[in-house]
Homo-oligomer: A and B are copies of this chain.
Amino acid sequence: MPTTARELTVLDAACCGDGAARPMELAEAERLAGLLKAVADPARLRLLSLVARSADGEACICDLTAPVGLSQPTVSHHMRVLVEAGLLAREQRGRWAYYRLVPGASETVAAAFLDSFRPR
Contacts and interface: CB of A to CB of B under 8 A. Distances in A.
B116 A48 contact: yes
A47 interface: yes
Contacts of A12: 65-67, 69
Given A29-B45, A52-B116, A52-B117, 16 more contacts: A12-B66, A13-B66, A16-B66, A20-B63, A21-B59, A22-B67, A24-B49, A26-B46, A29-B43, A32-B45, A33-B40, A33-B45, A48-B116, A49-B117, A53-B120, A113-B113
Interface of A: 5-6, 8-9, 12-13, 15-17, 19-24, 26, 29-30, 32-33, 36-37, 39-50, 52-55, 57, 59, 63, 65-69, 101, 106-107, 109-110, 113-114, 116-120
For the complex of A and B, list the 8 residue pairs with the smallest distance between their C-beta atoms, beginning with the closest.
A9-B69, A36-B40, A21-B53, A23-B46, A29-B42, A24-B49, A12-B66, A106-B117
